[in-house]
């Protein structure tokens, strides 16, 4: 049984973890999130410099947590893409250095496949087949997975513009909420009336785009609505929590409707919801409700496995090693735009 070191540096989280045979041995995570806060979004150069600073200490902490020395590592897996170019290059360069120094195979892996693999360490093997809804700050994708380690992932649909998390972040900003906006908006919506404002459900009911998402129009709709409210003298203001709940409802409605349609049309009985936005309380509740009604089993990883971390990459690397998948060449380079 091989010990796989996983390294994740695609955005602002620096993650390292060790997984052996589906068991998490140790992990460590550092984030440059607070360094981006005043810019209202992740600044690639700041993220890359932080990875350089954090990565080796992170690997050391993960090894210490596992009670292992680096000589125990049998393979290194690293996010090769997609992600921020300079951030990815840092991780790939470090992973190559570890693989060369330790004389072990290197696996360049897909960040989204990592999100799907993340909770294997908590909840055991993934069902086959499954539909995966990946909703993060950078991605909104519906994927059909037959066997994560062995078969290519079938890409059902993506967003035409903003990712769901990006939409949360931008709407939160428009509503005056702090960065990162997703969790702040989720908290602000607590106890709000989701039916207070009828925000649009973009691209729903479209036979020509059943799995395609679009969130920039929704973001604009919230911004316009807020502006109108601000200038409408004498009109009773709608409380922030109702606006936040109404927006959150629109996003959760679109995401779950399309995900369940994908399950129905492909005869799949398992839905996995992952990525940072999977932390959203309304998305979780609505997905649970609609899955129960449709007889679909829902799997949503624990919150700490939903956002970027090293565990997801180590878990995926471990699946690849166990499936006997060939390792990557040592001239592997980061692929910021890599697509399924």
- Residues near ligand KG4 (CB under 6 A): 11, 136-138, 165-166, 168-169, 180-183, 186, 275-277, 279-280, 307-308
Residue 86 binding Zn ion, by CB under 5 A: no
Residue 119 binding Zn ion, by CB under 5 A: no
Which segment (53-61, 136-144, 170-178, 266-274) binds Zn ion by CB under 5 A? 136-144
DSSP structure class, residue 213: B
Please give the helix or strand (H or E) that residue 30 lies within, else none. strand 23-31
Beta carbon nearer to ligand KG4, 20 or 139: 139
The least distance separating Zn ion from the CB of residue 111, rounded to whole angstroms, comes to 6
Which of 9, 32, 86, 136 lies at the binding interface for Zn ion (CB under 5 A)?
A: 136
CA 232 to mean position of chain CA atoms: 38
Q: What is the largest CA-CA distance in the chain?
A: 72
If contact means CB under 5 to 8 A according to the sort of partner, which of ligand KG4, Zn ion, none does residue 27 touch? Answer: none
Question: Is 136 annotated as belonging to a binding site?
Answer: yes
CA atoms within a 13 Å half-sphere pointing along the CA-CB vector of 22: 9
Beta carbon nearer to Zn ion, 81 or 157: 81
If contact means CB under 5 to 8 A according to the sort of partner, which of ligand KG4, Zn ion, none does residue 168 touch? Answer: ligand KG4
Q: What is the C-alpha separation between 79 and 206, in angstroms, rounded?
A: 34
Q: What is the C-alpha separation between 108 and 251, in angstroms, rounded?
A: 32
Beta carbon nearer to ligand KG4, 166 or 253: 166
Nearest to 251 by CA among 154, 126, 163, 153: 163
Pairing of strands 13-20, 23-31: antiparallel
Question: Is 137 annotated as belonging to a binding site?
Answer: yes
**Overall residue count recorded for the chain in this entry:** 340
Residues placed in the known binding site for Fe cation: 111, 115, 308
Residues placed in the known binding site for substrate: 134-138, 169, 182, 186, 280
């Amino acid at each position: 049984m091989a010990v796989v070191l996983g390294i994740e540096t695609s955005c602002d989280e620096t993650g390292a973890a060790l997984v052996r045979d589906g068991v998490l041995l140790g992990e460590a995570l550092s984030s440059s999130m607070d360094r981006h806060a005043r810019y209202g979004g992740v600044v690639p150069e700041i993220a890359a410099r932080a990875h350089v600073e954090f990565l080796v200490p992170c690997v050391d902490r993960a090894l210490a947590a596992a009670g292992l020395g680096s000589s125990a590592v049998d393979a290194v897996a690293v996010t090769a893409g997609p992600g921020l170019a300079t951030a990815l290059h840092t991780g790939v360069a470090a992973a190559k250095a570890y693989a060369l120094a330790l004389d072990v195979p290197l696996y360049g892996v897909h960040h989204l496949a990592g999100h799907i693999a993340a909770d294997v360490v908590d909840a055991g093997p993934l069902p086959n087949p499954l539909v995966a809804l990946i909703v993060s700050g950078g991605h909104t994708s519906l994927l059909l997975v037959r066997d994560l380690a062995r078969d290519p992932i079938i890409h059902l649909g993506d967003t035409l513009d903003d990712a769901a998390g990006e939409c949360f972040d931008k709407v939160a900003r428009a509503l005056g909420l702090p960065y990162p906006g997703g969790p702040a908006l989720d908290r602000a919506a607590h106890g709000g009336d989701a039916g207070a404002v009828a925000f649009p459900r973009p691209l729903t009911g479209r036979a020509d785009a059943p799995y395609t998402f679009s969130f920039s129009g929704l973001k604009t709709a919230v911004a316009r609505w807020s502006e109108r409210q601000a200038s409408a003298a004498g009109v009773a203001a709608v409380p922030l929590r109702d606006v936040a709940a109404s927006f959150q409802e629109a996003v959760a409605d679109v995401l779950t409707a399309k995900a369940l349609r994908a399950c129905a049309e492909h005869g799949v009985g398992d839905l996995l919801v992952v990525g940072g936005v999977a932390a959203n309380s309304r998305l979780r509740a609505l997905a649970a409700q609609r899955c129960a009604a449709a007889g679909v089993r829902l799997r949503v990883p624990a919150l700490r496995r939903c956002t970027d971390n090293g565990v997801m990459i180590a878990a995926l690397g471990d699946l690849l090693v166990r499936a006997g998948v060939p390792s990557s060449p040592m001239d592997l380079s980061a692929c910021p735009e890599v697509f399924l």
